[in-house]
Amino acid sequence: MRWHILGAGSLGSLWAARLYRAGCDVELILRDQQRLASYQSAGGLTLIEDNQPHCYPIPAVSIDDCGPISRLLLACKAYDAPTAIIQLAPLLAEDAEVILLQNGLGSQERVAALIPQARCILASSTEGAFRQADFCTVFAGHGHTWLGDPLQSEPPTWLVDLQQSQINHDWAEDIVSRLWRKLALNCAINPLTVLYDCRNGGLLEHQAEVATLCHELNQLLHACGMSTAATGLHEQVIRVINATAANYSSMHQDVSQKRRTEIAYLIGYACAAAERQQLQLPHLNALNERLGQYLDAHGLPRH
């Protein structure tokens, strides 16, 4: 069965190139005819691994010319996912499966509500990739991807394609808890790296602030019924800060490159969830507000 992939950005390209070279039937869905023409003149997607570029001539179509879709990898940013799925919904088969690769929380629910006929599979990934140029992606960090379906525990048969493509993955019955855990990690690290304009390791100088945030995030996870995701959160945050000390967080990279952030699906989502639970989290709220003001001052959207 064909893999349709929307989003020829970093993660979409990383998946597309590995599936294609393992012999899977892959088709990229590009925004419009103009983008398709640029792709065709590039001759395909280039993936750079260990400094070695390789171009893969993966077939592509523009959204307007795309045929029926049975299996879709939605690999765009969280804020683009609902609009993209509205465009694709009429093309989805009755029993379509849609893999949602978005970071954070909030977009998955909105997408699933727009396509009630499809099976939505949620993903949480620690792989790292960035775009060096249009249709040219660098595979920057090997990681792992967890996939799961909160409504149906049976794993899909196509996991074998991921196996053959050497996409490290596991089927996770607790995918929602994993997404919450990653969101909490991102909330404890990413906004502070933006506000202090530092690498992740720079937060070792702000450990009291990190600890206070972890305490509040812990309360939030418990209040939202995600107690497992709360276990050892602070310890893991410190471990991640140490292990990625030399790196800039993804939010820091977005801001420094003047790109819109996924704030609404990370700390914004966490603050909204706390409000729904009538939970007072003053430090998390203050951090969200400081980050919002910082984004305003840098001409970037708050959501």
Interface residues with ligand NAD (CB under 6 A) are 6-12, 30-31, 63, 75-78, 80, 83-84, 87, 101-103, 125, 127-129, 131, 262
DSSP assignment of the chain: --EEEE--SHHHHHHHHHHHHTT--EEEEESSHHHHHHHHHHTSEEEEETTEEEEE---EEEGGG---EEEEEE-S-GGGHHHHHHHHGGGEEEEEEEEE--SSSSHHHHHHHH-TTSEEEEEEE--EEEEEETTEEEEEE---EEEE-TT--SPPTTHHHHHHTT--EEE-TTHHHHHHHHHHHHHHHHHHHHHTT--GGGGGGGHHHHHHHHHHHHHHHHHTT-HHHHTTHHHHHHHHHHHTTTSPPHHHHHHHTTPPP-GGGTHHHHHHHHHHTT---HHHHHHHHHHHHHHHHTT----
Closest-CB residue for ligand NAD?
Answer: 9
Residue 105 near residue 269, CB atoms below 8 Å: yes
Which lies closer to ligand KPL via its Cβ, residue 105 or residue 118? 105
Catalytic residue annotation: 182
Least distance between ligand KPL and beta carbon 151 (Å): 26
**Using CA atoms, how far apart are residues 162 and 157, in angstroms rounded to an integer?**
10
Least distance between ligand KPL and beta carbon 123 (Å): 14
Residue 285 binding: pick among ligand NAD, ligand KPL, none (C-beta 5-8 Å cut-off by kind): none
Which lies closer to ligand KPL via its Cβ, residue 36 or residue 210? 210
Residue 244 binding: pick among ligand KPL, ligand NAD, none (C-beta 5-8 Å cut-off by kind): ligand KPL
Which lies closer to ligand NAD via its Cβ, residue 87 or residue 277? 87
Least distance between ligand KPL and beta carbon 266 (Å): 8
Residue 83 binding: pick among ligand KPL, ligand NAD, none (C-beta 5-8 Å cut-off by kind): ligand NAD
Which lies closer to ligand NAD via its Cβ, residue 123 or residue 224? 123
- Strands 92-100 and 45-49, by their bridges, are unpaired
Least distance between ligand KPL and beta carbon 250 (Å): 3
Which lies closer to ligand KPL via its Cβ, residue 20 or residue 248? 248
Binding residues for ligand KPL, per CB under 6 A? 185-186, 189-190, 200, 240, 244, 249-250
Residue 17 binding: pick among ligand KPL, ligand NAD, none (C-beta 5-8 Å cut-off by kind): none
Least distance between ligand KPL and beta carbon 53 (Å): 25
Residue 226 binding: pick among ligand KPL, ligand NAD, none (C-beta 5-8 Å cut-off by kind): none
